[in-house]
Amino acid sequence: MSEAAHMATADTPQVLLEHHLKMLRLPTFLREYDKVARQCSAESLDYPRYLLRMTELELLDRERRATERRIRQARFPVVKSLDSFEFLAIPSLNKVLVLELARCEFLQRRENVLLLGNSGTGKTHLALALGLAACQRGHRVRFTTAAALVHELTEARDEKRLLRFQKLMASYELLLVDELGFVPLSKAGAELLFEVFSQRYERGSTLVSSNLPFEEWTEVLGSERLTGALLDRLTHHVHILEMNGESYRLKESRRKRTSQSAR
C-alpha cells in the first residue's frame, strides 16, 4: 500500500466520526472530542468517563444556546439582571418577594405580577430582570409595552390574522407588558388588550407595570366596566410590588450636575 493510501485509510475513522457528529448535530462533541481525549488519556480516565465528560459538555453548551435563543425571542429592548438593580434606592420595595419571584415558581402556578409606582423607579428594569430569570430557567417569555402590544393587535386585526396573533400571545409562559398608563388607549385598543389578558387568565403568567394606581386605570382604558373586568382577572392570583420613590433618572441627573459644578 502506498504511503498516501495508508494515510487516507488511517484518517478515515476521524473523517467519518466528524461527519457523523455533524449529522447528529453535536457541535460541542465535534469541537472538543480530540482535546478532551488527550486530557482523559493524560489523567488515565477510562472510556465511560471520557464519554461522560463529552456528554456533559454537549448538554451544557446546548442549554446555553437554548437560553440565548429564548432571550432573543423574548425581544427584550436591553438585557438587565437583578444583580444591577439598586434595591436600597426603593425602600418600599419588598426585596424578599422579588428574590422569590426570580425563582420563577409563580409561573408553574400561573400567577401574575403587578409592578406599581411612579416613573423612574426601576419598574422596567425589574420586569426585564424577572423576564431574564424566566428565560434562564427554560420558560418562553415575551416583552412588550402596552402601546406596542395594542399596535400589534390592531395591525393583526386589520390584516385578518388576529386569531393567530392572539394564540401566540397566549402561548408564552410569561408575558411582560410594560408602561400601562403612559398612553391612553382607544376603545378598540383597550378591548383588544383586555382580550389578551382574558385569554391568558389562569393559563399563563402576566406581568404588568404601571405608573398609575388602580383607581386611575379607567383613564387609560376608558371604561369602568372594562377596567373592573381586567383588574378582576389580573388580581385574582397576583403578587403586587409597590415601587414608589424618587426617580432614578432625576437622581442621576442631579448627581451629574453636582459633579460637574464641583469641577
* Residues 18-53: tens digit of each pLDDT: 888 888 888 888 888 889 889 988 988 898 888 888
- For the chain, the 3-state helix, strand and coil shares in percent, each to the nearest 5, are 65, 10, 25
Question: Three-state DSSP class for 179?
Answer: strand
Quick one: how far is CA 255 from the chain centroid?
Answer: 31
Residue spans in the chain of domains classed CATH 3.40.50.300: 82-250
Please identify, in words, the CATH class of the domain defined by 82-250: alpha beta
Amino acid 225 reads R
Quick one: how far is CA 60 from the chain centroid?
Answer: 20
Could you say which residues of the chain have pLDDT below 70? 1-11, 245-263
Q: Is residue 127 a contact partner of residue 241, using CB atoms and an 8 Å limit?
A: no
pLDDT of residue 208: 98
Q: Which residues contact 104 (CB under 8 A, 6 or more apart)?
A: 130, 133, 134, 137, 139
pLDDT of residue 7: 44
Compute the distance between CA of residue 155 and CA of residue 162 in angstroms, rounded to an integer. 8
Q: Is residue 139 a contact partner of residue 107, using CB atoms and an 8 Å limit?
A: yes
Q: Which residues contact 45 (CB under 8 A, 6 or more apart)?
A: 53
Question: Three-state DSSP class for 86?
Answer: coil
Q: Is residue 201 a contact partner of residue 170, using CB atoms and an 8 Å limit?
A: no
Terminal-residue alpha carbon distance, the chain: 82
Compute the distance between CA of residue 114 and CA of residue 209 in angstroms, rounded to an integer. 6
pLDDT of residue 114: 97
Cell of 136: 434562564
Q: Is residue 199 a contact partner of residue 169, using CB atoms and an 8 Å limit?
A: yes
pLDDT of residue 185: 93
Compute the distance between CA of residue 241 and CA of residue 237 in angstroms, rounded to an integer. 14
Report residue 250: phi and psi, to 5°.
-65, -40
User: Which H or E run contains 108?
Assistant: helix 105-108
Report residue 204: phi and psi, to 5°.
-160, 165
